[in-house]
Structure 1
Amino acid sequence: MIEHPSHFGTGGGTLWCVRRALRFALQELVQQLVNGITLGSVYALIALGYTMVYGILELINFAHGEVFMVGAFVALGVFVVLGGAGLPWWLLLLAALLCAMAVCSLLGMGLERLAYRPLLSEAKPLGAVELGVIAASGSGIWWLYHQLKGGLSQAEWWLGPAVGLGAAAAFWGLFAYLGRSGPARKTPRLSLLITALGASILLQNAMRLIVGSRDRILPEVLPAWSFTLAGVQITAPQILTVGVSVTAMVLLTWLVQSTRLGKAMRATAQDIEAAQLMGINTRLIIVIVFVLGSSLAAVAGVLFGIFFKSINFFIGFQAGLKAFTAAVLGGIGNIPGAVLGGLLLGLLESLGSGYISSEWKDVFAFIVLVGVLLLRPSGLLGENVPEKV
């Protein structure tokens, strides 16, 4: 028998309505919390890249958001190319993750080699291996561009290698010029910041030229199922996003805290010159940090595309600023702080969108940023430490 307020009389009917309203309010709150944790997991993955690079170089890599965006578009390319091959969804997803991580790792290495290393130390002309990587990357970009545009004609297949070789020759000439000065140099932090912003603008507009400015819709990859727990709906993309994010963050924490590579990374972050005197190849450690951060951004890009479906060339700028805010909120340079900041920011944005207005969702991140900088500049888990000299 279904209860109805008329069954309880006047007083009972009022109590029934209050209980029902409270139950709906609680379900709505829990639903917003689930959505916030999902979004916060993506922010946390991106924020880890910011905080790892800052911990070693004290550099805010503002191009990191564009690496995230490239990862989302690589996933789109994989889904378009392999979507009709009849592969199971988990294999298609794994291929997208691996391809995005590989491409974004190369992109992170390129940013470190092309944009930052010439300002931090002696720049040498590119070697044969690096030239080959650039050539392959140029060919891959050309191929991806035409796949998204509708495919290459048989007469155009030779253009991909030609574009790659042209890029290799151009970069070799650039670094032959940059490497002529010889001795290492100490560049002002402002120059590094401007370079990071320039690299961000370059990547953003390059992707706009490659894929266009309109939104792209990712195809349905995951099985269309969900379940309801106590009135709260949980979908497959949400479970996947949180599960993959937590796994990646746990593996990164284990790598940094429990391995020799992690010990070398922590030593380099604490004192780069002392680490060099102890025999640590700090240049290799810096490259590895860029690779790890870019791989996490690639994973975040794939998960973002699967969860939100729509991507464009501008998502990296927006997500990058929010992830930077998350890193500052938790304490930039602190890995647990980046995770905490990402989750808190995702929860705040989800609750604000649900209870205030979705049009204000991008404002909440900057309110938090201003508040943290005013009240606790070191972040929630950060410590006030003297600047490295």
Structure 2
Amino acid sequence: MEFVQQLVNGISLGSIYALLALGYTMVYGIVKLINFAHGDVFMVGAFIGFYSVTVFHFGFFPALLLAMAVCAVFGVLIERIAYKPLRNATRIAALITAIGVSLFIEYGTIYLHGAQPEAYPSNVLPEKNINIFGVTINSQSLLILFTSIVLMIVLQFIVHRTKVGKAMRAVSYDAEAARLMGISVDRTISATFAIGSALAGAAGVIFGIYYTKIDPLMGIIPGLKAFVAAVLGGIGIIPGAMVGGLLLGVIESLVSAMGFSLWRDGAAFIVLILLLIFRPSGLFGKNVREKV
């Protein structure tokens, strides 16, 4: 029974990593860029959710939607200002820029807000324990899991059933051919950043409610773990990011349950090292030769 409880906790945590990993994998799939500022968009979403709840007295879902909307706009601004001018530059230039943008957001937030952490109010989501077949499950974990799954289903619908989604898949497959077919590549890339950033904003609010404490540097470790989750599933593959995130959350929860809670953060990077040694293409990826 303890194992089932840890499994539920792990899936709830993993759903947060999955939402974050989706942003990494979508951007990489289209522009072949690892957006290391993505974890900081997650942090901005957490703060927007916090101020929505404490200042404007919004409920969970209005705060979630506001954070997603603001982070979508923020993601597009980052792409237009920092990445678009480097569209044809070397990959290392874009990567260094991504790290620079990440640091700028972190320390810009510290300058505006201060370095002190904030705590989400405990009454944002009603919390009670539900007993199912002898297993005690937190209602908050279930609601977080449900919200994350709905957002992932909406993303799958957008990618496979809408005009924007078809354009994203076309640009991912061959940007030049897509441009010749009349698809606006720049607009499609902006839409990708908007969707990925909106999911990061949602993950930030969910993380804040789940862990209570937020601070301007909170995006670093979850951002890196989400990157590991994206690589685990196969970078550039959307279902892979979902599975990778959930799997990583379960691994972390089981490591903590076995009494190795100090190794919890390290477990993600051990998984990454083993993956790069034995299956560098990820669980859903294919081995493709790539010129650098």
Q: Same fold (TM over 0.5)?
A: yes
Shift of 1:269: 0.2
**Counterpart check, 1:350 vs 2:223:** no
Q: 2:59 aligns with which of 68, 78, 92?
A: 92
What residue in structure 2 maps to residue 205 of structure 1? Answer: 107
Provide runs of 4+ in structure 1 moved above 6 Å.
Answer: none
| Structure-2 separation of matches of 1:72 and 1:338 | 21
| Structure-2 separation of matches of 1:332 and 1:109 | 21
Equivalent runs, 1:185-196 vs 2, <5 Å: 186-196=88-98
Q: Conserved in 2, the CA contact under 8 Å of 1:54 and 1:333?
A: yes
What residue in structure 1 maps to residue 10 of structure 2? Answer: 36
Spell out, residue by residue over 1:37-67, the C-alpha distance to the aligned partner (whole angstroms, 9 max, x if none).
0000000000000000000000000000000
Spell out, residue by residue over 1:251-279, the C-alpha distance to the aligned partner (whole angstroms, 9 max, x if none).
11111112222111101001101100000
Amino acid at match of 1:355: M
**Counterpart check, 1:316 vs 2:245:** no
**Counterpart check, 1:335 vs 2:238:** yes
Amino acid at match of 1:109: V
| Structure-1 separation of matches of 2:35 and 2:111 | 23
Amino acid at match of 1:236: S
| Structure-2 separation of matches of 1:361 and 1:199 | 28
What residue in structure 1 maps to residue 80 of structure 2? Answer: 113
Shift of 1:308: 0.9
| Structure-1 separation of matches of 2:291 and 2:29 | 11
> 2:130 aligns to what SS in structure 1?
strand
- From the CA coordinates, give the structure whose radius of gyration is larger: 1
| Structure-2 separation of matches of 1:301 and 1:310 | 11
**Counterpart check, 1:102 vs 2:69:** yes
What residue in structure 2 maps to residue 57 of structure 1? Answer: 31
Spell out, residue by residue over 1:198-241, the C-alpha distance to the aligned partner (whole angstroms, 9 max, x if none).
11111111112222222211002112322112332222221111
TM-score norm. by structure 2 comes to: 0.96
Q: Conserved in 2, the CA contact under 8 Å of 1:61 and 1:196?
A: yes
Q: 1:227 aligns with which of 130, 134, 140?
A: 130
Q: Conserved in 1, the CA contact under 8 Å of 2:129 and 2:136?
A: yes
What residue in structure 2 maps to residue 326 of structure 1? Answer: 229
> 1:82 aligns to what SS in structure 2?
coil
RMSD across aligned C-alpha pairs, in angstroms?
1.3
Q: Which runs of 5+ in 2 are unaligned?
A: none
Q: Conserved in 1, the CA contact under 8 Å of 2:128 and 2:140?
A: no
Spell out, residue by residue over 1:81-126, the C-alpha distance to the aligned partner (whole angstroms, 9 max, x if none).
123xxxxxxx611221121012111210111011101111xxxxxx
> 2:131 aligns to what SS in structure 1?
strand
Shift of 1:388: 7.7
Q: Which runs of 5+ in 1 are unaligned?
A: 1-26, 84-90, 121-185
| Structure-2 separation of matches of 1:356 and 1:187 | 47
Higher relative contact order (CA 8 A, sep 6+): 2
Amino acid at match of 1:243: F
Amino acid at match of 1:339: M
> 1:350 aligns to what SS in structure 2?
helix
> 2:56 aligns to what SS in structure 1?
helix
Equivalent runs, 1:367-378 vs 2, <5 Å: 367-378=270-281
Q: Paired residues, what number?
A: 291
TM-score norm. by structure 1 comes to: 0.73
Amino acid at match of 1:54: Y
